[in-house]
Amino acid sequence: MTFQTIGVIGAGQMGNGIAQVFAASGFDVRLNDLSGEALEGAVARISKNLDRLVARGKATDDEKAAIMSRIGTTTDLGDLGESDLVIEAATEREDIKSRIFSDLQPSLQPHTILASNTSSISITRLGAGTDRPERFIGLHFMNPVPVMKLVELIRGINTSEETYRAMLGLIERIGKISASAEDYPAFIVNRVLIPMINEAVYALYEGVGNVASIDAAMKLGANHPMGPLELGDFIGLDTCLAIMNVLHDGMADTKYRPCPLLTKYVEAGWLGRKVGRGFYDYRGETPVPTR
Question: Is 92 a known ligand-binding residue?
Answer: yes
Local structure of 194: helix, strand or coil: helix
Catalytic residue among 117, 190, 198, 230: 190
12 labeled binding residue:
yes
Sheet containing 5-9: which strands, arranged edge to edge? 71-74, 28-32, 5-9, 85-88, 113-116, 136-141, 150-155, 177-181
Q: What is the pLDDT at residue 8?
A: 98
Indicate if the pLDDT at residue 209 is higher than 90: yes
Q: How many Cα atoms within 13 Å fall on the side-chain side of residue 100?
A: 29
Q: What does the pLDDT read at residue 92?
A: 87
Please write the tens of the pLDDT for every residue from 3-52.
999 999 999 989 999 999 999 999 999 999 999 999 999 999 999 999 99
Catalytic annotation on 119? yes
Q: 48 among the known binding-site residues?
A: no
Catalytic residue among 49, 117, 119, 198: 119
At 72-127, the pLDDT tens digits run 999 999 999 999 999 999 988 899 999 999 999 999 999 999 999 998 899 999 99
Q: Is 33 a known ligand-binding residue?
A: yes
The Cα–Cα gap between 211 and 281 comes to 11
The answer to whether 15 is annotated as binding is: yes
- Which listed residue (16, 88, 120, 140) is catalytic? 140
Residue-level pLDDT at 1:
76
Average pLDDT over residues 148-160: 97
Active site residue 210: no
What whole-number percentage of the chain has pLDDT above 90?
A: 97
Task: Flag whether 63 is marked binding.
Answer: no
Rounded Cα distance, 112 and 127, in Å: 13
Establish whether 25 is a catalytic residue.
no
Predicted TM-score (pTM) of the model is: 0.89
Catalytic, 134? Answer: no
pLDDT at 205 over 80: yes
The verdict on whether residue 11 carries a ligand-binding annotation is yes
pLDDT band at 246 (very low <50, low <70, confident <90, very high): very high
Q: Supply the DSSP symbol for 35.
A: -
DSSP string, 45-109: HHHHHHHHHHHTTSS-HHHHHHHHHTEEEES-GGGGTT-SEEEE---S-HHHHHHHHHHHGGG--
Domains of the chain: residue spans and CATH: 5-182 (3.40.50.720), 191-289 (1.10.1040.10)
